[in-house]
Amino acid sequence: MAKKYRYITIGLKIILLPVLIWFSYHIYMTFFAAPTLSYIPKGKLIEQIKSPNQDYTLKAYVSSGGATTDYAIRGELIFNKKDIKPKNIYWNYHEEKANIKWIKNNTVIINGHKLIVPNQTYDFRNE
């Protein structure tokens, strides 16, 4: 009988430990880690504009968190001529529309925020 309980407790530890680690990681990333543009909602595509030299495409998405939060705009940079994963470069709260204007091949203004791509980003949570 004691051997049976030992196997049950070992089995529970094997199952519960990964769940606890996963849960702890997500709590940490949500509440304690520095804000990152990796964990923002996808949203609905509302606009996409290519850079003057066609190297980049900026896609703008509107995201709604439901009844308790306002709309937000996410800007995703697509690399047209390189095999690089798309990158979130813009995240701003209390916005429903994206006013995007490329002023140079690598400089874009999104709702008044000037970014030099691909390295600069804007995240309202860092202000």
Q: Is 69 helix (H, G, I), strand (E, B) or coil?
A: coil
Q: Where are the alpha helices (DSSP H) in the chain?
A: 2-31
* Model pTM score: 0.72
Each residue's pLDDT tens digit, 42-53: 899 999 999 999
**Residues linked to residue 50 through DSSP beta bridges, in sequence order:** 57
Each residue's pLDDT tens digit, 9-21: 887 888 888 888 9
